[in-house]
């Protein structure tokens, strides 16, 4: 009743429909919609009103095609269910939004394939890529061609963007705390890495050797709290001596706390626990979690900054500093 009478048009309104309705040309509509100069206030208002009435919205395809837009950032996340990643993603999205970019998110958990699948899905849709890609990191740059790629937590050989963490430093920090508290029988609970030991695990092992303490290494079946809980509950019985536990990340550490509780252990009296990452969850568990904290908002900011530099640098042909190493900070709470 309000709009066109000549039948229901399934087709979306184009700039020409608006131009015809307003009795002006394409260019005038463009000027009105984009608040450009060279148009009278009256015409501008009239065109905008008509555009709204017709439900007109410029085609992002046509616009992007002619303007060569580079405003879509891909974000590949292994598992949005793990609170670490949303905390990071939130920062990336905020930072990208401030720059006028939009963020296309792909989660490759829950049977949505591998990190490489995620990159393959994102590649045609975005102008740059940020992600925790693990082993797929190398191929990512190949798929993305000349477009900026920033990979987190996976040191790259060639000159791509990379943000990694100083695990040797973090491991020494955590171990130092445990040793200073008089703990001598330390265990490390690692995540699943296809049977192998993670980079973090290697750093912890090195730090233990450096400090001259023996290290018991446990491995969970998955990077999840229930999995950590189960491993700790079962394995801890056989490791009576352990009085200090370092965990792959905070989510698993929270599970480990539960597992120790299940087994009737008191934290930190019987066994101190230190997590890694510093997510908000750590303050909600009991006892509150001592952790190697990372400022995830800063990490997100750094990632987007890197993309921004690569994006500008790529235009000018030069390759700016493309890698960055961040350090953890020890946050003491009740668990250690």
Maximum C-alpha span of the chain: 85
DSSP assignment letter at 307:
H
**CA angle centred on 260, ends 258 and 264, rounded to 5°:** 110
130 binds a second copy (CB under 8 A): no
Q: Figure out which of the listed residues 1, 41, 180, 315 binds a second copy, where binding follows CB under 8 A.
A: 315
CB of 320 to a second copy, least distance (A): 15
Applying CB under 8 A, among 20, 44, 86, 333 the residue interacting with a second copy is 86
> Nearer Cβ to DNA, position 17 or 277?
17
Q: Which range in 51-59, 194-202, 203-211, 239-247 contacts a second copy by CB under 8 A?
A: 51-59
Q: Which does 43 bind (CB under 5 to 8 A by kind): a second copy, DNA, none?
A: DNA
Select from 20, 104, 202, 263 the one that contacts a second copy (CB under 8 A): 104
CB 57 to DNA: min, Å: 7
> Is residue 131 within 8 Å of residue 144, measured between CB atoms?
no
Is 145 among the residues that bind a second copy (CB under 8 A)? Answer: yes
| CA 235 – CA 230 distance, rounded (Å) | 8
**Run of H or E including 192:** none
| CB atoms closer than 10 angstroms to residue 259 | 26
Binding site partner of 27, from DNA, a second copy, none, Cβ cut-off 5-8 A by kind: DNA
DSSP, res 336: -
Binding status of residue 124 toward a second copy by CB under 8 A: yes
Question: Is 28 in a helix, a strand, or coil?
Answer: helix
What is the rounded distance in angstroms from the CA atom of residue 29 to the CA atom of residue 209?
A: 71
Using rule CB under 8 A, residue 87 touches a second copy = yes
Q: Which long-range contacts (CB under 8 A, 24 or more apart) does 129-138 make?
A: 129/73, 129/74, 129/75, 129/76, 130/73, 130/74, 130/75, 130/76, 130/92, 130/303, 130/304, 130/307, 131/74, 131/75, 131/76, 131/77, 132/76, 132/77, 132/78, 132/85, 133/76, 134/78, 137/162
Min dist CB 92 to a second copy, Å, is: 9
Please identify, using beta-carbon distances, which residue of 25 and 112 lies nearer to a second copy.
112
SS3 at position 332? coil
68 vs 212, which CB is nearer to DNA?
68
Q: Binding residues for DNA, per CB under 7 A?
A: 11-12, 14-16, 23-30, 33-34, 38-40, 43, 56, 58-59, 61-63, 65-68
Compute the least distance from the CB of residue 54 to DNA, in Å: 11
**Closer to a second copy by Cβ: residue 196 or 221:** 221
10 contacts a second copy (rule: CB under 8 A): yes
d(CA 235, CA 244): 14
User: Which residues sit at the interface with a second copy, rule CB under 8 A?
Assistant: 8, 10, 12, 55-65, 69, 75, 79-81, 83, 85-87, 89-90, 93-94, 97-98, 102-107, 109-110, 112, 121-125, 145-146, 225-226, 254-255, 257-258, 261, 280-281, 283-286, 314-315, 317
């Amino acid at each position: 009743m309000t709009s066109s009478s000549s039948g229901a048009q399934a087709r979306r309104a184009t700039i020409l429909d608006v131009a015809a309705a307003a009795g002006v040309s394409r260019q005038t509509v463009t000027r009105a919609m984009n608040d450009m100069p060279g148009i009278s206030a009256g015409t501008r208002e009239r065109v905008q009103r008509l555009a709204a009435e017709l439900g007109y919205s410029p085609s992002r395809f046509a616009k992007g095609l002619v303007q060569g837009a580079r405003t879509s950032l891909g974000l590949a996340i292994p598992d949005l269910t793990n609170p670490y990643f949303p905390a990071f993603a939130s920062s990336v999205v905020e930072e990208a939004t401030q720059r006028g970019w939009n963020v296309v998110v792909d989660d490759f958990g829950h049977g949505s394939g591998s990190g490489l699948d995620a990159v393959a899905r994102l590649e045609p849709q975005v102008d740059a890529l940020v992600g925790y890609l693990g082993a797929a990191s190398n191929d990512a740059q190949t798929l993305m061609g000349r477009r900026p790629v920033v990979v987190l937590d996976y040191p790259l050989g060639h000159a791509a963007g990379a943000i990694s963490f100083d695990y040797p430093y973090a491991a020494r920090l955590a171990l130092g705390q445990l040793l200073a508290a008089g703990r001598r029988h330390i265990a490390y609970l690692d995540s699943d890495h296809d049977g192998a030991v993670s980079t973090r695990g290697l750093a912890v092992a090195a730090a233990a050797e450096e400090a001259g303490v023996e290290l018991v290494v446990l491995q969970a079946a998955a990077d999840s709290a229930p999995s950590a809980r189960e491993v700790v509950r079962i394995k801890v019985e056989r490791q009576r001596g352990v009085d200090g536990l370092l965990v792959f990340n905070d989510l698993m550490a929270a599970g480990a706390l539960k597992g120790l509780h299940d087994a009737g252990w008191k934290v930190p009296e019987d066994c101190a626990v230190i997590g890694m990452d510093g997510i908000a969850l750590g303050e909600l568990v009991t006892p509150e979690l001592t952790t190697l904290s990372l400022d995830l908002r800063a990490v997100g900011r750094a990632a987007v900054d890197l993309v921004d530099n690569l994006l500008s640098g790529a235009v000018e042909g030069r390759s700016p500093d493309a890698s960055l190493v961040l350090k953890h900070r020890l946050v003491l709470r009740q668990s250690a």
